[in-house]
Amino acid sequence: MSVREWLENSNKALLVTGARQTGKTWLIRDEIKKSGYNKFEINFIDQPDIVSYLNAKISAEEFLIRLKMIMPEECKVHETVVFFDEIQKCPEIVTKIKFLVDEGSFKYAMSGSLLRVELKGIASASVGYLTVLKMYSLDFEEFMIANNVSNVTLDMLKERFEMCIPIDDFIHQRLLTMFFIYLIVGGMPDAVKTYIETKDNITYLPIYLCYLLKEKKLEKMIIDLDLSGL
């Protein structure tokens, strides 16, 4: 299930986990914006005072009352997604999910990092009321898509891989060069975005890549890599 499918079809709460900087917050915000729902967002790192306000040992009913008291007027019942970001700083909220989902005033989305430790034994209590999605960094296929490798090339690679047929050496070398870049840049969305936006300027390339270029261990074609014809 995707975030969009959850917004359209699910009555459960949503928890998106994964490493930091994988785009969890951006994805949830973007999908809520496109869905037409209003959004009320709390970030438990940027708003530490809210932690003590909502993290007290209060009943679920009192929690909902306190939540409504800090929500703006435009956040109407049945038209709003409440988004708790950096939930690892206030994991007790998950224990109240069953009541919040059953009460039904709002949809609830949560995201956080390193939740396996913080939520050990908690999320299991919300089975049936909580959809858990895990986000990862970009894999190499997604890195190629971000760098405008065509669908024709991607389909060809998949077909050749499944049939164990070698690809043309020219294309192989070009994609191998891109794979080397992927190993250096990594798959974190912000790093990939920065690379795509600044790859024509050696000043902004990763230090190790600059070293390889300086020592002429990699061809300068890496900077000028253009796979638009693939």
Residue 118: the pLDDT is: 55
Residue 59: what residue type? S
Q: Tokens 């039904």 belong to which residue?
A: 104
pLDDT band at 223 (very low <50, low <70, confident <90, very high): very low
Q: Is the confidence at residue 204, as pLDDT, over 50? A: no
User: How far apart, in whole angstroms, are the C-alpha atoms of residue 15 and residue 60?
Assistant: 18
Confidence band, pLDDT 50/70/90 cuts, at residue 157: very high
| Residue-wise pLDDT tens digits, 159-168 | 999 999 999 8
What percent of the chain stands above pLDDT 90? 37
Lowest-confidence region among 14-18, 43-47, 207-211: 207-211
- Count of CB atoms situated within 10 Å of the CB of 91: 19
pLDDT at 52 over 70: yes
Q: What is the pTM of this model?
A: 0.72
pLDDT at site 221:
45
Tell me if residue 56 falls in helix, strand or coil.
Answer: coil
> What pLDDT, on the 0 to 100 scale, is given for residue 57?
76
pLDDT band at 208 (very low <50, low <70, confident <90, very high): low
Query: Model confidence over 86-122: pLDDT tens digits?
Result: 988 888 788 888 899 999 999 999 998 866 555 555 5
For the stretch 119-132, pLDDT in tens is 555 555 566 788 88
What is the predicted pLDDT for the residue at 205? 52
* Count of beta carbons in the 10 Å neighbourhood of residue 123: 19
Q: What is the DSSP letter of 71?
A: S
**Amino acid at position 30, single letter:** D
Mean pLDDT of 65-91: 91
pLDDT value for 67: 92
pLDDT mean over 52-79 = 88
Going by C-alpha positions, the residue among 132, 135, 137, 80 that lies closest to residue 110 is: 132
Residue 170, class by beta-carbon neighbours within 10 Å (0-12 exposed, 13-18 middle, 19+ buried)?
Answer: exposed
